[in-house]
């Protein structure tokens, strides 16, 4: 079932989303060569807590860190460690915060120092794929309309579309119905209505779409070792469009 949020719930989702956006803004300045992913994770935790929220990922299904930090060929759910960021890396921060029982969820990929033109291309077009997907959203569309828009854009730019991981509804649970794949056909899938809240999150690869799970049971990496990017916003569907809840 896809829930329609009440005004009160939407207000809490706006606050949770804005805390996530602020956390991104805050962490950006630290993404320099030499910082460890563990240090970034702790900065995120302390910032989220200072805003009266909690990191939703912490202990979610046993997840052992506060946010997800994925470097280069890591697609999602990278776990903070002693690993140091290096010049030329790209790093995705996937940040979820819970405020008074309601969640916000947003991922963004950042450059560390000077990155290759290929990585710039991947980041630019993955961000654009997110906004292509968002551009079709309004009351009365189908989930497949979003996936279609994202996939067509990605394919036109020769990027691999990760299929194993999908966007999702957001509310008093981090992951709610519906699933929001980054592929699909127009006019298919669940109907979306004003008052629903979803996370749209293309994960695109510079190489093939294939991914696999590391032995840590969390980190998903590309099969060919090529880099991957991930851009995600939590949005509220409105009568004639959408409102980004995880604004920067
Ligand atoms: N934004 C991530 C997702 O939607 C949140 C994962 S929390 C984790 O998959 F605990 F599973 F890492
Ligand atoms: Co998500």
Pick the residue whose CA is nearest to atom 2 on ligand 1.
Answer: 94
- Residues of the chain above pLDDT 90, percent: 100
In this predicted structure, what is the pLDDT of residue 210?
Answer: 98
Short-list 129, 118, 143, CA closest to 231: 129
User: Does ligand 1 lie within 6 Å of residue 63's CB atom?
Assistant: yes
The residues, ordered by sequence, that sit 6+ positions from 168 with a Cβ below 8 Å of its Cβ are 174, 175, 176, 177, 178, 179, 180, 198, 199
User: Does ligand 1 lie within 6 Å of residue 60's CB atom?
Assistant: yes
pLDDT in tens, 176-196: 999 999 999 999 999 999 999
Dist. CA 30 → ligand 2 center (Å): 23
At 47, is the pLDDT very low, low, confident or very high (cuts 50, 70, 90)?
very high
pTM over 0.75: yes
At 56, is the pLDDT very low, low, confident or very high (cuts 50, 70, 90)?
very high
In this predicted structure, what is the pLDDT of residue 1?
Answer: 94
Domains and their CATH numbers in the chain: 7-244 (3.90.230.10)
Atom of ligand 1 nearest to the CA of 63: 10
Q: How confident is the model over 188-212, as a mean pLDDT? A: 98
Dist. CA 168 → ligand 1 center (Å): 11
User: Does ligand 1 lie within 6 Å of residue 68's CB atom?
Assistant: yes
CB-count burial class (<10 Å; 0-12, 13-18, 19+) for 50: exposed
Dist. CA 77 → ligand 1 center (Å): 6
User: Does ligand 1 lie within 6 Å of residue 77's CB atom?
Assistant: yes
Q: What protein residues have CB closer than 5 angstroms to ion ligand 2?
A: 105, 199
Dist. CA 169 → ligand 1 center (Å): 13
Query: What is the rounded distance in angstroms from the CA atom of residue 123 to the CA atom of residue 218?
Result: 23
Helix (H) or strand (E) holding 135: helix 117-135
């Amino acid at each position: 079932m896809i829930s329609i949020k009440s005004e009160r719930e939407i207000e809490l989702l706006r606050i949770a989303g804005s805390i996530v956006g602020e956390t991104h803004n805050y962490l950006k300045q630290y993404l320099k060569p030499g910082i460890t992913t563990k240090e970034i994770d702790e900065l995120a935790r302390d910032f989220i807590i200072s805003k009266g929220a909690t990191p939703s990922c912490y202990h979610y299904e046993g997840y052992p860190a506060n946010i997800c930090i994925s470097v280069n060929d890591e697609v999602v759910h990278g776990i903070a460690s002693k690993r140091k960021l290096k010049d030329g890396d790209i790093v995705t921060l996937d940040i979820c915060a819970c405020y008074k029982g309601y969640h916000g969820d947003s991922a963004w990929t950042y450059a560390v120092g000077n990155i290759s033109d290929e990585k710039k291309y991947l980041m630019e077009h993955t961000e654009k794929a997110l906004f292509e997907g968002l551009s079709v959203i309004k009351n009365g569309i189908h989930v497949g309309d979003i996936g279609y828009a994202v996939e067509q854009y990605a394919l036109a730019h020769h990027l691999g579309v990760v299929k194993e991981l999908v966007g999702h509804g957001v509310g008093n649970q981090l992951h709610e119905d519906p699933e929001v794949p980054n592929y699909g056909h127009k006019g298919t899938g669940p109907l979306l209505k004003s008052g629903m809240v979803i996370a749209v999150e293309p994960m695109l690869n510079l190489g093939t779409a294939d991914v696999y799970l590391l032995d840590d049971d969390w980190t998903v990496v590309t099969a060919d070792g090529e880099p991957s990017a991930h851009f995600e916003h939590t949005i509220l569907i409105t009568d004639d469009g959408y409102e980004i809840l995880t604004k920067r």
